Structure 1
Amino acid sequence: MLSGCIGDDFTGSSDLANTLSKQGMRVTQYCGIPTTNADPAVEAGVVALKSRSIPAADAIAQSLAALDWLHAQGCQQFLFKYCSTFDSTPDGNIGPVADALADSLGARKVVVCPAFPGAGRTLYQGHLFVQDRPLNESGMEHHPLNPMNDSDIRRFLARQTTSRVGHVAFADVRRGAAVIADALTREDAMDARLIVVDALSDDDLMAIGEALDGLPLLTGGSGIAMGLPRNFRRKGLLSGQGGTWQGVSGKAVVLSGSCSAATRDQIAQHRDAGRPAREITADDAVAGQVDPAEVAAWAIAQDALPLIYSSADPARVKAAQQTHGRDRVAAAIEALFANIARAVVAAGMARLIVAGGETSGAVVEGLGLTALDIGPEIAPGAPALRASRPTGDITLALKSGNFGGPDFFAEASTVLRGA
């Protein structure tokens, strides 16, 4: 294994695996920390954790355990992957985990670059934009778990880390890899260990990737991985033999716990098209008034693609959190979706489209999946995935809340079938 990656949620990890696979690496996504060694043919291993919103100390412990496993597989370079909207709070977890990984590896010049231009996330003068809006005006300021109220990644990160935060501005990035490498050295000489690097295009990310050749640790969104495979290819280390992937037939279902604006639009599109949809409220989830077996029976009985969702607008989410407590609401919804996922698969569903990072993590853990094969891209940042199971393989799409076009659910169902 050449590249060892640690993702702080399951959708972001599949996004990263997709990026590396498209660039020619043979990739496997592991669901949690494996207990056995990897297949020697795997060139990039992505360990997907559910560590984005847990206490920082727990996130650090899990990330270091993942690092130890990846180190044992022979990895030459490590990547800590978080969301392209930098989902975190002033207490963590991005800064604390990055510090811990850097300490373990003795790493300096640790790049911080959440940019993903293909999904509209760009970084300019240290500020993160979503399309044409600063991060804190993009809707992310209303995120129920990680509200982002500051677009200046340098300033936000400085609240989380004990390291000095540096910056490589776009004026240096646009001049190419050699200048970027010199700028990283300059920031390192000024005792900056975590260094925010601007990026406005895929070409910028490719140049940044070239500048990172040989550095032990980098951090960012999936875009930062675009230029890394080329470094290994230039050294003759890639086999050129990607993995194989096949779709599966059988019924499909959509499970959505994301409250992002993009997902709510996708739900509206689904309902407007006359497809079956069933809402689960936070109140019902907390009260335990939803029977997963009954919900699964409803889903399996539908002729068209069924949608089961708990994706309310920010005002309703906030009201539920004030009534029941934020952690209680989140735990109840995640546990319910895990139980529903088990029930629908047991009922014969073979294709699952899941929206939302926390929901995706709950579903994957609930199904006991350990490794995922990477398939074709459904939308930027959202590949098709396949899991081998003794009772029959299933295919999945694990979608970050903000990703995908208006008809993503139907498109994903088609791709997961292998069409």
Structure 2
Amino acid sequence: MDTAATTRNDPYASLRIREFNYYLVIRFAIVFALTMQFTIVEWKVYELARDPFSLGLIGLSEVIPAVLLAPFAGHLVDQREKRGMLLACVVAYIVLGTGLFLLTWDRMVQGIPTHWVLNMIYALVFMGGIVRAFTSPSNFTMLALLVPRQLYANASTWSSSAWQVGGMAGPALGGLFIHLLGVHWSMLLVVIIFLAPLFSLLQIKPKPILYKSQGEGFVAGLTKGMRFVWNTKVVLNAMALDMFAVLFGGATAMLPAFATDILHVGSLEFGFLRAAVAVGSLMTMFILAYRPLVTKPGIKLLAAVFGFGICIIVFGLSKSFYLSLIALLLSGMLDGISVITRQTILQLKTPDEMRGRVASVSSMFVGSSNELGAFESGFAARLMGLVPSVVFGGCVTLVVVATTYIISPAMRKLDLKA
């Protein structure tokens, strides 16, 4: 019997590796805490400013340092021990979370003008963007150091699932705890949650550094990840497709405004809406753990992103809480296909010594498009109105998918076999 083939076909194969399970806790807890924190910050900022554009500024504050520092961060991560880098990032998140906890304490900010409180919140979010520039490549590179190559696809599915569970629970519990405890004590809970990845990281042994400079200069090493992505068309196309879909089709940044002004619901319902996308993604990821995309994954990816755009249009036009919830749930199920496909492509196609730099390029393309999309949504909402801006974004997503299908034979012929 082919042991390697049996291992590949075992949906729980990567879960049998002890350190990988700690990695899943880290992956879950970081995104859980950050999305819960982001949800609380969104609610607080809109409560203070009552302007959809203020929600866009939250995303812009984080995306600027994350994008500008990404090439340097990936280059540095490739040359450093990964566990130590991620450990430093978690400690930084704890410090910044404590700062946000203090800024949401009414007694602490009493007498300070509202615009100064907002500016200080934006400043801490900006510093969080600096940390995120190093967190993303550190997280990505650790996975390949914990599991053998034949399990990359399986490990990527479980890693993405952990990320989506955190992305689901964070906003849902963020809305719930705002409802039950208020903004201030909810933010303290975020700081406590960050202790979980801190403990888990201490259970993982330091990993070898695989970077080989081969005499290349600083600038050449810095841009090597960009050149690799540009020359590997299937990687470039997958990143670009996901980036534009999230950039123009993302509606979650405007959820506080939709919940309050369009659907006329409170913080609890807002939390459910915020979590619906991640719930849908999680459902897809569990299905794909058992039935991975083998035949024509590129065509299925394009179809999924096209369906995602339609769901966003429906959400933008809906005035019913339940229809909006279903539209977001379905958009998450379709987005899950995109997430797993992209992660699998990156793990299989990226050389070990370049994982940090390629992950940084991915964060520039995809990870930062969430925050940049939040700014675009806020700007478009001010320019066109809340509902037209979301519908417009969904329509642009459909155009992007059609264009990718026409110009990208590499995507149409995509093969995910290791």
TM-score (norm 2): 0.27
Higher relative contact order, chain-length normalized (CA < 8 Å, sep 6+):
2
Select the structure that is richer in strand: 1
TM-score (norm 1): 0.27
